[in-house]
């Protein structure tokens, strides 16, 4: 050992060693300090002490500055250093607190890809910071990962949602929209792409590179410099590395992480191959239930909304956030799946669903948007922690369906709120491909009771379009009172209806009778009808409330108007704000008509609700001769629309023939209502 006598001058090397030793001591102490912070967070969690005390933080920094002066350390230096240290400590504590209190010590996380994939590394980073042990359920596709959570073989899924270079990962957005899963966390992961190959490989000799499409997008500039080298798309970064190891061919390379190289015995041929050095991917952690973010932990909320297609509709929706002084973090637009003409907007903002201000914003948003779904509130490291915000009494986790506080209050004594005039004074206009329910003009819906054949629905669609009506109706799933009556053509009928609508430029409405059919029918129908027999089928109401299609809700034949509005509330509370109410006659002691058309329902509903109201005189009367006078009456009392059944040959109709109008009668009714025929005949 060399003599380290202080009196002897040290060499530069020795001084460097001394500095290195001090630095490693500093690092060790920082790690030790972090461990204390973690312990502190657990203690605070148990004893309900707020996670952040800004006065104490300031006192601590002042104390350290004073302590530093004793050692002749510059106050500015100590202040800057300790501010960083304190911020880190707050972040560490929030990570621990952000984990659901009393939550599990171990979780199974579903990821797309195998071990060594970026998803796995991101999931590891997320759970490690919370002191949770994680095992992985690996899946080939994102959708398989989501299914693992549904089936219970995983507790959560960790999915990439956006990248700083290549942008939004649209497949994951579309998947999460209808997955029914809740956002419970996020992690920003620094992606470090490496070009990997066998030990014997060299870059000039590579002829093929296995590469995930996202990695291709993020390393496009580097890939363009390779001559005579083909890019082969691969669904999984780590798997591409594993595969080249198995191939044992030095002319094949892969783009993946350093961990992949280590795991599968590969060589890193090149680092720094991404177009941008700072390449981050944001992953979301999704689970079957929403979580409660502990008070004082900075939270982010994600939601998805659809706005009207009038000028300024998006501005109006975003204005709600500005008025509430809520910070928007991200806005991303995606076409609605199966409805590509319309856009959905994904919004991330600062705040927690349990905050009173956030609840109010969501409530105000329902007045501006057509569809709104909260994906979840979760702790976010991107945000500066702040003192606990004002919360409503209890910290009940708010589910997706709960856009408003459901407890009865003075403004919703009748059990509905979102549908009430008090909530939204202006009329809601439901717009479907040019038909505007709730505007000034009467909207006409016409078509057969049931779709019976190609020929029948095509001929009827032509008559509907030529007469100037705006929407084609046709039942495919018929809720018949007797099981022996014609039940409809089902999905085959829906294909015919959708095709007929397209041919004649008409949106189509059809009835849904079962919650399990809703998604499939919503792919093709422009409006979903809930019939009188299902007005209080609450699971059906919630299911249509989760779609992006307008809903025509018919009044139960023995239901009061308040019951109708409460049924509508089930749909609105799920996020779908496009409900059209329909009066179709109710049961009374009168036997002269099939039902009794309650025309007073129209002005009464108009005073109670902002939702548009349609009248169906066909099912009310049960007799074709009564349809026209009742339709005119509906127009006179202020209905926004009228729906009638028509048939090319009512005598042979498989259902409701006696109440169906012939085409000539329908044309006469349209003239009486003052709706002009379409100018050019034929398709288009």
Catalytic site positions:
281, 283
As measured in angstroms, the least distance from the Cβ of 587 to ligand PEP is 12
Report helix, strand or coil for 19.
helix
Q: Which of 106, 214, 92, 94 is nearest to 156 (CA)?
A: 106
The residue (of 163 and 460) whose beta carbon lies closer to ligand PEP is 460
DSSP letter (8 states) at residue 428: P
> Which part of the chain contacts ligand PEP (CB under 6 A), choosing from 170-178, 270-278, 495-503, 528-536?
528-536
Stretch that binds ligand PEP, among 106-114, 253-261, 530-538, 658-666 (CB under 6 A): 530-538
Stretch that binds ligand PEP, among 199-207, 297-305, 329-337, 529-537 (CB under 6 A): 529-537
361 touches Mn ion by CB under 5 A: no
Q: Cβ 136 to Mn ion, closest distance in Å?
A: 53
- Exposure of 637 by Cβ count < 10 A (0-12 exposed, 13-18 middle, 19+ buried)? middle
Cα distance between residue 17 and residue 206, in whole Å: 43
598 in Cβ contact with 449 (< 8 Å): no
User: Pick from 257, 364, 532, 659: which binds ligand PEP (CB under 6 A)?
Assistant: 532
Among 44, 193, 619, 624, binds ligand PEP (CB under 6 A): 619
10 Å CB burial of residue 176 (0-12, 13-18, 19+) is buried
Q: Phi and psi of 331, rounded to 5°?
A: -135, 125
Strand, helix or coil for residue 230: strand
Q: Is 513 left (phi over 0), alpha (psi -120 to 50) or beta?
A: alpha
Task: Find the shortest distance in angstroms from Cβ 660 to Mn ion.
Answer: 8
Q: Measured between alpha carbons, how far is 158 from 612 in angstroms, rounded to an integer? A: 42
Name which position in 113, 447, 475, 612 contacts ligand PEP (CB under 6 A): 475
- To ligand PEP, the closest distance from the beta carbon of 281 in angstroms equals 49
Report the distance separating Cα 392 and Cα 288, nearest Å: 24
Q: Which is nearer to Mn ion, 351 or 641 (CB)?
A: 641
CA distance 581 to 630: 17
Binding-site member from 121, 372, 449, 614 for Mn ion (CB under 5 A): 449
447 touching ligand PEP, by CB under 6 A:
no
Q: Does 368 bind ligand PEP (CB under 6 A)?
A: no
Instruction: Report the partner that residue 355 touches, choosing among ligand PEP, Mn ion, none (CB closer than 5 to 8 A by kind).
Output: none
Applying CB under 6 A, the span of 145-153, 409-417, 531-539, 628-636 interacting with ligand PEP comes to 531-539
| 554 to 583: interface string for ligand PEP, x by CB under 6 A | x-----------------------------
Q: How far apart are CA 556 and CA 538, in angstroms?
A: 13
Among 44, 194, 462, 584, binds ligand PEP (CB under 6 A): 584
Least gap, CB of 370 to ligand PEP (angstroms): 23
Q: Which of residues 648-667 bind Mn ion (CB under 5 A)?
A: 656
Contacts with 16 (C-beta within 8 Å, 6 or more apart), sequence order: none
639: enclosing H helix or E strand: none
Residues in contact with ligand PEP by the rule CB under 6 A: 449, 475, 511, 531-533, 554, 584, 619
């Amino acid at each position: 050992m060399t003599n380290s006598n202080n009196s002897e001058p040290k060499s530069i090397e020795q001084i460097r060693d001394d500095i290195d030793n001090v630095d490693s001591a500093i690092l060790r102490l920082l790690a030790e300090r972090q461990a204390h912070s973690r312990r502190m967070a657990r203690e605070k969690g148990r004893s309900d002490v707020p996670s952040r005390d800004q006065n104490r933080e300031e006192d601590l920094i002042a104390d350290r500055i004073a302590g530093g002066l004793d050692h002749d350390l510059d106050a500015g230096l100590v202040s800057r250093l300790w501010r960083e240290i304190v911020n880190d400590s707050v972040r560490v504590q929030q990570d621990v607190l952000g984990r659901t209190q009393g939550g599990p010590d171990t979780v199974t996380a579903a990821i797309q890809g195998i071990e060594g994939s970026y998803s796995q590394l991101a999931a590891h980073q997320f759970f490690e910071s919370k002191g949770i042990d994680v095992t992985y359920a690996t899946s080939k596709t994102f959708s398989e990962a989501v299914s693992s959570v549904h089936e219970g073989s995983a507790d959560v899924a960790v999915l990439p949602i956006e990248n700083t270079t290549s942008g939004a990962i649209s497949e994951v957005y579309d998947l999460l929209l209808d997955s029914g899963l809740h956002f419970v966390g996020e992690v920003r992961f620094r992606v470090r792409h490496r070009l990997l190959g066998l030990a014997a490989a060299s870059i000039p000799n590579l002829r093929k590179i296995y590469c995930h499409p996202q990695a291709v997008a993020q390393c496009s500039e580097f890939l363009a410099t390779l001559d005579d080298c083909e890019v082969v798309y691969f669904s999984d970064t780590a798997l591409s590395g594993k595969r080249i190891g198995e191939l044992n061919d030095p002319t094949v390379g892969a783009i993946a992480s350093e961990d992949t190289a280590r795991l599968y015995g590969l060589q890193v041929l090149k680092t720094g191959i991404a177009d941008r050095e700072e390449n981050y991917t944001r992953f979301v952690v999704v689970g079957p239930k929403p979580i409660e973010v502990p008070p004082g932990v900075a939270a982010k909320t994600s939601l998805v909304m659809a706005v009207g297609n009038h000028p300024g509709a998006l501005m109006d929706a975003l204005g709600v956030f500005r008025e509430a002084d809520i910070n928007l973090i991200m806005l991303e637009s995606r076409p609605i799946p199966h409805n590509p003409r319309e856009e959905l907007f994904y919004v991330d903002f600062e705040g927690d669903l349990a905050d009173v201000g956030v609840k109010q914003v969501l409530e105000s948003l329902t007045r501006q948007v057509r569809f709104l779904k909260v994906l979840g509130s979760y702790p976010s490291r991107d945000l500066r922690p702040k003192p606990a915000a004002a919360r409503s009494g209890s910290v009940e986790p708010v589910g997706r369906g709960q856009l408003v506080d459901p407890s009865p209050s003075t403004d919703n004594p009748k059990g509905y709120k979102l549908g009430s005039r008090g909530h939204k004074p202006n009329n809601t206009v439901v717009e479907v491909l040019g038909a505007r329910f709730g505007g000034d003009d009467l909207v006409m819906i016409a078509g057969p009771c049931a779709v019976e054949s190609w020929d029948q629905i095509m001929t009827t669609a032509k008559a509907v379009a030529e007469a100037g009506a705006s929407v084609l109706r046709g039942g495919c799933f018929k809720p018949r009172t007797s099981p022996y009556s014609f039940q409809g053509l089902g999905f085959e009928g829906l294909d015919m209806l959708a095709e007929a609508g397209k041919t004649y430029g008409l949106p189509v409405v059809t009835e849904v009778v079962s919650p399990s059919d809703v998604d499939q029918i919503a792919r093709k129908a422009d409006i979903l009808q809930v019939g009188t027999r299902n007005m209080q089928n609450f699971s059906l109401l919630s299911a249509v409330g989760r779609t992006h299609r307008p809903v025509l809700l018919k009044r139960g034949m023995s239901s009061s108007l308040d019951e109708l509005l409460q049924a509508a509330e089930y749909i609105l509370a799920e996020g779908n704000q496009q409900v059209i109410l329909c009066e179709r006659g109710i049961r009374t002691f009168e036997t002269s008509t099939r039902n009794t058309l309650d025309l007073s329902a129209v002005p009464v509903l108009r005073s109670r609700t902002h939702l548009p109201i349609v009248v169906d005189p066909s099912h009310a009367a049960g007799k074709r001769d009564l349809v026209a006078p009742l339709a005119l009456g509906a127009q006179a009392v202020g209905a926004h629309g009228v729906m009638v059944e028509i048939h090319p040959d009512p005598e042979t109709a498989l259902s409701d023939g006696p109440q169906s109008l012939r085409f000539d009668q329908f044309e006469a009714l349209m003239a009486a209502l003052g709706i002009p025929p379409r100018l050019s005949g034929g398709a288009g």
